[in-house]
Amino acid sequence: MRHAWLVILLAVVGCGRRGSLYEGAIAPLPLVGTSNALVQVVPATRRAVLVTPGAVTPSAVVIGAGARVAARVPGADLVAILSGSARAPRLELLDTETRELTVLDPGSAFDRITFSPEGRFAVLTADFERTSGLAARNLNEAALLDVPSRTVTRLQLDVEGLAPRLVTFGPVETNRRLVAVALERGVALFDATRPEVPARRISLRPPGSTVENSVSQVLFSRDARWLYLRATGLDDVVVIELGSETGAPVSASINFVAGGTGLVDLELAPPSLPDSVVALYAGTPELVVLDARGIEDNVRRLTLPQVMGAMERLSDRRVLVWGASVAAAWDVIDGRSGVATLLGTPERVTVSPGSERVMLSQASSATAPGVLTALTVSEEPNRLRLRTQPIQLARKPTASAVSSDGETMFLAVPPGTGSTQTALVTVDVRTLALAEVLLDAPVVNLFQLPSSGVLAAEHSGNVLGDVSLVPAGATERLSVTRLSDFALTGDLDRPEDRP
């Protein structure tokens, strides 16, 4: 009896200590946008917080512990989350429409997930730079997710390189879907519709060589007959001719095609040149159309006025290249070209395919006024004419987004020195009509939520999350809804954490 009273006394007066539930830092993963919601995965609270237009209070779905990667599934209102521990990994698929959560076993602790453009497949790979908590990990292992059937298949790449660097999906074919996984010293190819078939392994390093050539760009031809690789330390384009086998490892014949020096970018050639690739060189400033079969007579060249740093496809037959204050367009079929002088070096380039108009935003320095240049390509008898229409911006844009049809561009532009506000500028790419609305904090990211016609501007400075939801094209601040600190959603309701 005396001891019972002692226990009660201790319970009332002396006991009680804080658990570990609220001692970890809230470190949410970067926001992910689907067509109807923004999703913020919060590993500390084991919640996926859904910010939905029309709801002034975000809601949350309980997910597994240890979330480390979140990515949108293209073409679906799904978010894939890699979570769990190194010994019990999980792959969770959250439907942001129904809020249904599907948990899959990926088989191993992966760090990256790469989806095919249409969202049917995903490849899960490990990151060599990241530690998993395991004493040993086979970085040559990957997994293939078939999204419609919600199945995961483990793959052994079994190549010489350590960990995958790039995953590139080939074009959709009737009877197969090729996937190229680039590693430090080569590439592995497999058919996503038949993951049980072993991967074809292709080494870039010639036998006996000790030179390291890491793959930095992978490009499939439209008919999946060719695979073009750009590798560090190589001026040649690595061309791999792929067989049409199904049900067996794809046959591959490797070739090195020379064009110039200082290879910096690759783009697909027009459909009428199915066996060619466009290469941009910096050492000898030129664009070269290379024949994958090595036929020298088919090579076309355009000498550029200066070194260009990047290339983008304007249309089926034209490419655009740009560098310091200069842009050039080239019609690969008929050889016509044109050059335009810009007011600065483009930092963001947005191509509107329908109108063949390019929006380039640039600034000469961090504090200088920014410029948005609309570049239009028009035809003249013996050349292309590049017409530029500059639009003055108060400051360099801090974020941008483009509508899915490419016809509307959104820019977050700080209005001036000393102001904490940011203007959300809407640009009609065809007419260059402008509309803007002022938001109350700096913007670091823009998301489109097309299902509700809303643009979400993510603000900086608040680790718990801070977004303004703006109807696309709105100019009235009264239409703005601001939601902040939503990473704390559900923080008090933690029944799943009971020991």
Partner 1 sequence: MKRLISVVLGLFASAAFAQVQPFHANLGLSTQVFSARGYDLVDLDDHFHSFRFAAGTTFELRAWRLDLEAGVTTGGNDATSHVQLATGLGLVGLDLSATARFPVTAWFHPYVRVGVGYDWATLSVTNPANRLSQTVGVVSGQAGAGVQFTVRVTRENQRGVYLFLDLGIGGVLRPGAAFTSVAPPPPVGPQADPIGQRGGVNLGTLPLSGITWRGIAGIRF
Question: Which positions lie near partner 1, rule CB under 8 A?
Answer: 8, 11-13, 15-19, 21-26, 44, 55-60, 438, 440, 461-464, 466, 468, 477-486, 488-494, 497-498
CB of 16 to partner 1, least distance (A): 3
For residue 166, what are its two tokens?
């790039």
CB of 78 to partner 1, least distance (A): 23
As a whole number of angstroms, the distance between CA 333 and CA 336 comes to: 8
As a whole number of angstroms, the distance between CA 285 and CA 301 comes to: 10
Identify which of residues 23 and 296 has a Cβ nearer to partner 1 in the complex: 23
Q: What is the DSSP annotation of 114-175?
A: EE-TTSSEEEEE--TTS--S-S---TTEEEEEETTTTEEEEEE---SSSS--EEEE----SS
In DSSP terms, which residues pair with 83 in a beta bridge?
90
For residue 145, what are its two tokens?
């997710």
Element (DSSP H or E) covering residue 143 = strand 141-146
Q: How, if at all, do strands 263-268 and 38-42 pair?
A: unpaired
The length of the chain in residues reads 499
Identify which of residues 44 and 139 has a Cβ nearer to partner 1 in the complex: 44
CB 233 within 8 A of CB 241: no
Identify which of residues 366 and 492 has a Cβ nearer to partner 1 in the complex: 492
CB of 471 to partner 1, least distance (A): 10
As a whole number of angstroms, the distance between CA 311 and CA 299 comes to: 18
Identify which of residues 15 and 135 has a Cβ nearer to partner 1 in the complex: 15
Identify which of residues 148 and 418 has a Cβ nearer to partner 1 in the complex: 418
For residue 119, what are its two tokens?
């969202």
As a whole number of angstroms, the distance between CA 384 and CA 373 comes to: 18
Identify which of residues 11 and 134 has a Cβ nearer to partner 1 in the complex: 11
Identify which of residues 41 and 142 has a Cβ nearer to partner 1 in the complex: 41
Q: Which residue, chain included where needed, has tokens 């996503």?
A: 192
Closest CA to 31 of 335, 456, 490: 456
CB of 445 to partner 1, least distance (A): 16
Identify which of residues 51 and 202 has a Cβ nearer to partner 1 in the complex: 51
The type of residue at 444 is V
In DSSP terms, which residues pair with 378 in a beta bridge?
385
As a whole number of angstroms, the distance between CA 192 and CA 208 comes to: 32
Identify which of residues 222 and 477 has a Cβ nearer to partner 1 in the complex: 477
As a whole number of angstroms, the distance between CA 469 and CA 457 comes to: 6
Element (DSSP H or E) covering residue 328 = strand 326-331
CB of 131 to partner 1, least distance (A): 22
CB of 473 to partner 1, least distance (A): 15
CB of 457 to partner 1, least distance (A): 12
Identify which of residues 192 and 425 has a Cβ nearer to partner 1 in the complex: 425
Collapsing DSSP to helix, strand or coil, 156 comes out as strand
CB of 427 to partner 1, least distance (A): 22
CB 288 within 8 A of CB 309: no
CB of 5 to partner 1, least distance (A): 11
Identify which of residues 13 and 366 has a Cβ nearer to partner 1 in the complex: 13
CB 244 within 8 A of CB 252: no
CB of 118 to partner 1, least distance (A): 34
CB of 60 to partner 1, least distance (A): 8
Q: What is the DSSP annotation of 79-122?
A: EEEEEE-SSSEEEEEEETTT--EEEE--SS---EEEE-TTSSEE
